[in-house]
């Protein structure tokens, strides 16, 4: 059986990746459970690599059906890691939603993006007429369409964004 070797970024303050192997092909950007320093942690496969000269440990479990980070995100997060002189694994951890970030330390069971639910208790505010107009305009945009959403501090921009996220989640986004 063929073995594949991967450079895995682990959320520790060490500016290097660690090499693990698997019998399965794993896409870059996927979260995996590995053994590190006598504990189980979740790392991100950064890239496939060649067989090293040293002994490696097997990846215990693939945690994502689809990669958490696509190639552009990996490239951007790698740049952030280099620019701010910070470990790539910690940068990856910082860019995950809190619910998925917990899985980096295996405090909770496996979490998938589609398991998020909207908590109606968090929606305490009604949108103003300006916010409603902005919400309607932004929700009609199809795909990636950058635009500037401008307003003074505390004008409710985040509330509009939260409603847009809610709509995207309801539609399976």
- Rounded to 5 degrees, what are φ and ψ at 48? -80, 145
Question: Over 70: is that where the pLDDT of 104 sits?
Answer: no
Q: Are residues 14 and 81 in the same domain?
A: yes
**Angle at CA of residue 42, ends 40 and 48, nearest 5°:** 115
CA distance 68 to 45: 10
CATH for 87: 3.40.1440.60
Q: Which two tokens stand for residue 93?
A: 């951890």
Q: Are residues 104 and 131 in the same domain?
A: no
Question: Which pLDDT score is estimated for 109?
Answer: 46
Give me the mean pLDDT over the 32-48 stretch.
90
Q: Are residues 69 and 143 in the same domain?
A: no
Q: Which of these three, 72, 87, 110, is where a domain ends?
A: 110
Q: Give the domain range for residue 84.
A: 4-110
Question: Over 90: is that where the pLDDT of 108 sits?
Answer: no
- Tell me the range of 20-24, 102-106, 145-149, 153-157 where mean pLDDT is highest: 20-24
Q: Are residues 135 and 73 in the same domain?
A: no
Burial of 19 (0-12, 13-18, 19+ CB in 10 A): middle
How many domains are contained in the chain?
2
CA distance 13 to 10: 9
């Amino acid at each position: 059986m063929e073995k594949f070797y991967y450079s895995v970024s682990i959320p520790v303050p060490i500016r290097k990746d660690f090499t693990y192997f698997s019998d399965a092909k794993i896409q870059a950007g996927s979260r995996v459970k590995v053994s590190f320093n006598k504990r189980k942690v979740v790392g991100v496969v950064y890239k496939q690599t060649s067989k090293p000269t040293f002994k490696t440990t097997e990846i215990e479990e693939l945690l994502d059906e689809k990669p958490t980070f696509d190639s552009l995100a990996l490239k951007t997060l790698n740049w952030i890691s280099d620019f701010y002189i910070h470990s790539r694994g910690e940068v990856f951890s910082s860019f995950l939603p809190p619910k998925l970030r917990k899985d980096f330390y295996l405090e909770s069971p496996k979490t998938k993006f589609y398991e998020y639910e909207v908590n109606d208790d968090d929606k305490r505010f009604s949108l103003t007429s300006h916010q409603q107009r902005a919400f309607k305009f932004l929700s009609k945009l199809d795909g990636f369409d950058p635009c500037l959403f401008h307003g003074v501090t505390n004008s409710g921009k985040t509330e509009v964004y939260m409603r847009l996220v809610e709509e995207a989640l309801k539609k399976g986004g």
